[in-house]
Amino acid sequence: MQHPVPDRLSGTVLEGRYELGPRLARGGTATVYRARDRRLDRPVAVKLLHPHLAEDAGAAERFAREARAAARLSHPHVVSVLDQGRSPDGTPYLVMELVEGPTLRRVLRERGALPVPEALDVLEALLDGLAAAHRAGLVHRDVKPENVLLDAGGRITVADFGLTRAADQHTGTGTVLGTVGYAAPELVMGRRVDARSDVYATGVVLFELLAGRRPFDGPPLVVARAHADGPVPDVRSAAPGVPAPVAHLVARATAHDPQDRPADAGRMLEQLRAVRAALGREHPTQVLGARPPAGNDPTEVLGARPPGGNDRTQVLGTRPPGDGGSTRVLGARHVPGGSTATEVLRPGDPTRALGTRRPERQERGASGSTDPWRPAVELRPARPLRTAGVLAVAALAVAAAAFLGWLLGSGPGAPVAVPDVRGTGTELAEQYLAGAGLRNVVVRESPDPTAPEGTVVGTDPAQGSAVRPLEQVVLIVSTGPEQVVAPDVVGMGVEEAGDRLADAGLEPGERTEVPSAATAGTVVGQEPAAGTAVARGESVLLAVSAGPRAQEAPGVLGAPVADAVRELEAAGWPVVVEEPLGVSLGVVVAQETTADGVVLTVL
């Protein structure tokens, strides 16, 4: 879980019950806030769909599906969904169990690869939660370290069922949902997705836990192609110390063919437990993020200080122990004998800089005054104040310049490179841009002759360009090939029809000559029909008149079927050949003329 961040919605109360606190996380589809349930007086997490997605019926439906799917699950390793509703502006939200602790991604970022026993502990809890979902007929579709949470007691839970689908529902749009780094080949290629796709993603997670990195890295399109084209490499190539049974478990889970993987998370869980038994030794459980019990050997705690030190928190600016702990008044005079006398200023005394030494009192000052408290040399107070003001302004200017230089140079305002998100879906592209620190994203649709509808074909600025986090990045999303309206070319000559189609952005396609009362060479039919929307560059089939056919069909009884057909078609008569016995000797034994042409019976 990320550190809380103030947000414009912090303090908002949803439906008179859920009071939003600081923002905890922001993903590609929703923002998560810490909140308080006023009715039950308990902390919760509220997940609000991004406003621009709330207007998308598909995104809103996926969001509602998350609520219905997760609410069906009651399991220690699955984050509970408690309620759902809509904000005053109609934005859908979910109310979830608040898990206080880091994500598995943060664990990997801070520690890198985990020891084999810890990696298997994490995987066992992850598979246990997924197995409950699979038994309920649900497929998560977005298993990754960001969606695995660890609370302070070490409990591991699976979250974010935003892409969940029932096992009998599948997409066929070709748009990849989920994170490409963990996407199964069938998900990348838009094929049927089932529980084995979650098994594949879990295998990739185990690879990362053991090796400290994913099997494929690079731009999203490169990673997607790597998953689609080839097998995941042996984890021992990246982590040679991994035992062979564990490496084989990774290989089975990430098999390219779904048929070669475990059937679901429950089956993979059984295989994992068998592997742990086959290792032939007990693995001490090291709970990630747990607080060690008093008096026991400390379990490794993320970010904890090594045992053995008695560190004290020292208030900045306080005097270290042993100095007597005495407080000295600024400007006080030190009285011989070890005490400190507080110097009291009398009314009317001249202004004096703190810490300056008071001149020794004289019977008469230089100015001739007999006042014993008047300094020997009189200073005009305006000059030191003016100097101090100038110095303060200069110091502030230097500090502001240094802060601005840091902000724009290496701080949060430093330029970042636009990642390559071509070939991904809109939601996934926004996730990658947000991961690079670019959240000011808008979508512009544009036709593309080759990219499927909904696929990102580029960005503005282009990928690799250096932009600052607050600058706007435009996602250029394909609407598919440009659509044009087929013109009406019936009644035109063949050449005129070809020119008319070319003017409309279409091509004249195959021509079929048919008998017709129209003049030979005249277009008498077209496919697709006039007024139909078709992709630019498509071909239009043309039916062209061959002239009027003979009044009577020529007789072809006893003729070979090939000669008979040729003679009838030359006379302008369509031919239908029937073989009632299913065996053709190639001889016409019957001929019948109908309104549609000539029917030949052949033996």
Write b or e for each residue in 16-28: b if 16 or more Cβ atoms lie within 10 A of its Cβ, otherwise e: ebbbbbbbbbbbb
Q: pLDDT at position 268, please?
A: 96
Which residues of the chain fall short of a pLDDT of 50? 1-2, 162-178, 282-287, 289-382, 410-411
CATH number given to 418-478: 3.30.10.20
Q: How far apart are CA 398 and CA 396, in angstroms?
A: 5
Q: Which one is catalytic: 128, 142, 194, 420?
A: 142
Q: pLDDT at position 5, please?
A: 53
Q: pLDDT at position 552, please?
A: 75
Dihedral over alpha carbons 132, 135, 138, 140 (to 10 degrees): 40
CATH 3.30.10.20, the chain: domain bounds: 418-478, 483-545
Q: pLDDT at position 505, please?
A: 86
Residue 127 DSSP SS3: helix
Place of tokens 């961040």: 5
CB atoms within 10 A of CB 88: 9
**Residues 6 or more apart whose Cβ sits within 8 Å of residue 163:** 62, 140, 141, 142, 177, 178
Q: pLDDT at position 294, please?
A: 41
Structure tokens at 589: 């034994």
Residue 512 DSSP SS3: strand
CB atoms within 10 A of CB 396: 10
Q: How far apart are CA 418 and CA 351, in angstroms?
A: 59
pTM for this entry: 0.49
Q: How far apart are CA 545 and CA 543, in angstroms?
A: 7
In CATH terms, is domain 104-278 a member of 1.10.510.10? yes
**Residues 6 or more apart whose Cβ sits within 8 Å of residue 45:** 24, 32, 33, 34, 35, 95, 96, 97, 98, 99
Closest CA to 97 of 79, 75, 84: 79
Q: How far apart are CA 361 and CA 358, in angstroms?
A: 8
In CATH terms, is domain 13-96 a member of 3.30.420.40? no
Structure tokens at 78: 């699955």
Q: Cα-atom radius of gyration of the chain, to the nearest Å? A: 39
Q: pLDDT at position 246, please?
A: 95
CATH 1.10.510.10, the chain: domain bounds: 104-278
For 386, list phi and psi in degrees, rounded to 5. -65, -40
Q: How far apart are CA 148 and CA 461, in angstroms?
A: 33
Place of tokens 């109609």: 90
Q: How far apart are CA 254 and CA 211, in angstroms?
A: 15
Is 142 among the residues known to form the active site? yes
Structure tokens at 550: 């003979």
Helices (H), 212-361: 220-229, 244-253, 265-278
Q: How far apart are CA 24 and CA 31, in angstroms?
A: 8
8 Å CB contact between 466 and 518 = no
Q: pLDDT at position 518, please?
A: 81
Q: pLDDT at position 394, please?
A: 76
Q: pLDDT at position 403, please?
A: 58
Residue 116 DSSP SS3: helix
Q: Considering only the top CATH level, what class is 483-545?
A: alpha beta
8 Å CB contact between 44 and 82 = yes
CB atoms within 10 A of CB 587: 14
CATH 3.30.200.20, the chain: domain bounds: 13-96
Q: pLDDT at position 378, please?
A: 43
Q: How far apart are CA 133 and CA 131, in angstroms?
A: 5
